[in-house]
Structure formats: C-alpha cells, structure tokens
Amino acid sequence: MSYLSEEQSFTLNKIEQLVKNKFIYEGSGHDWWHIFRVKETAIKIAKAEQADLFLTELGALLHDIADHKFHGGDIEAGPKEAARILNDFGLADSIIIRVCAIVKEVTFKGEGVPTPCSSLEAACVQDADRLDAIGAIGIARAFAYGGSKGRLLYDPELKPAFFSDFQSYKSTLAPTINHFYEKLLLLKDRMNTNAAKVIAAQRHAFMETYLEQFYSEWNASK
C-alpha cells in the first residue's frame, strides 16, 4: 500500500484548488464535480489495486485539464498543460512523465480503437473516468454534453455507427441515444481492473433498463 507524504498531500491540495477554480462553472459534463468523482473513484480503485496513490490522484485531477474536444482536436493539449502545471509546482521530471502518460491514455477514442494503459495508475484513472460515463450519472452527462452541442435526444432514422478511427468518432453529430451504442454500452467490457468491472456491471444494467423505458415511452406515442 502506498501512502502520501505531507509534501505530496500539500501539492495535491494546491493542484486540486487550481483545477477546481478552472472547472467549477464548466457546463458540458466536464465540470469540477466530474473531476472530483473521478478522483475519488480512482483513489478507491488504486487502493484495491495497490497502485501509487500520488500518481493516481495527480492523473485524475489533471485528466481533463485541456480536453482535445475544446482544443481543436489536439490530443497533446492535455499532457502539455499537465506538464506545465506540474513543472510550476516543482515536481520531478520522472513524476511529470508518468502523470502526462496517464492524461494521454485516459480518452476513449471509438469502438475500434484500442486504448492500452502503460501503467497501473493509468488503468485506475481510465477506469474511474469511464465509470463516470456510465450509469445514472453517465446518462445525465451524455444528455448534458449532447445539449451543449445542440444534438437531438433521439432520431429513429439515424442508426448508431461503428468507428474505427478517433477522427470520425469525435466528429459525429448523431443524437445522444446513439452515443450509448457508440461508447457507453461498450465501456463495461473495456474496464482494466476487477474493482471497476464490478461497479461497471451494475451501472451497465441500469443503462439497459433506462433504454428499455426510453423506447417504450417513445413507442407509446405512436
């Protein structure tokens, strides 16, 4: 089991304040509370997996710091900004490199695109981020994100697509229900850790029930 030193706790608190101030008013599903939940879940998984708690918490706090969706599709924007912040806090290069790898590896890139993790800590953060995309909260976030992009809830004439590359996955303009098939329902089988697999199974079942209810209400109006 890894423990945090006093200095590490101090640094984490400072970085948490910085991230909180930046994201508190974000309205597209990437608000501070998303980052907070990912941090809490990542720590819980990291403890079960005996991963390094300092690296995991830094990775979770910084995982959405400069999302490609809001930076012209640049997938290096997040790791670069994370490196800048960690450097400002005087952290060693060896830590910066490892946290930047976590930030880079978290993102889901489409059904046909593998997203391997090069460390146990990245696996914990990736799982925590993906757990927050499913279940009741995941459903709320998907519709919040869809709304922020002016997407329809559902269009029975537009079928979900299979994406074999990140570019086409992130450019889709499809209704939010399609996102369930293009990402949310796929996540349960892409969890890395056993702890996350257990939580994912329950959240997945809830999404299936939700979809059944959604379609039954939709069809009741025919």
Q: What residues line the site for Ni ion (CB under 5 A)?
A: 64, 129
Closest CA to 86 of 160, 94, 126: 94
Cα separation, 82 vs 12, in Å, equals 13
Return the one option of ligand ADP, Ni ion, none that residue 39 interacts with (CB less than 5 to 8 A, by type).
none
> Considering the complex, what minimum distance in angstroms separates the CB of residue 44 from ligand ADP?
17
Return the SS3 of 120: helix
> Considering the complex, what minimum distance in angstroms separates the CB of residue 206 from ligand ADP?
15
- Total H helices, total E strands in the chain: 10, 0
DSSP category for residue 70: G
Say if residues 35 and 63 touch (Cβ distance below 8 Å).
yes
Closest CA to 145 of 216, 85, 58, 64: 64
Residues 155-174 that bind ligand ADP (CB under 6 A): 172
> Considering the complex, what minimum distance in angstroms separates the CB of residue 27 from Ni ion?
15
Among all chains, which residue has been given the structure tokens 């101030």? Answer: 21
Residues 76-135 that bind ligand ADP (CB under 6 A): 107-108, 129, 132-133
Of 40, 67, 76, 111, the one binding ligand ADP by CB under 6 A: 67
Contact between 183 and ligand ADP per CB under 6 A: yes
Return the one option of ligand ADP, Ni ion, none that residue 145 interacts with (CB less than 5 to 8 A, by type).
ligand ADP
Contact between 176 and ligand ADP per CB under 6 A: yes
Return the one option of ligand ADP, Ni ion, none that residue 29 interacts with (CB less than 5 to 8 A, by type).
ligand ADP
Which of 76, 158 has the CB closer to Ni ion?
A: 76
How is residue 123 written in tokens? 């696996």
Return the one option of Ni ion, ligand ADP, none that residue 183 interacts with (CB less than 5 to 8 A, by type).
ligand ADP
Among all chains, which residue has been given the structure tokens 């999302």? Answer: 67
Of 138, 163, 166, 203, the one binding ligand ADP by CB under 6 A: 138
Say if residues 193 and 217 touch (Cβ distance below 8 Å).
no
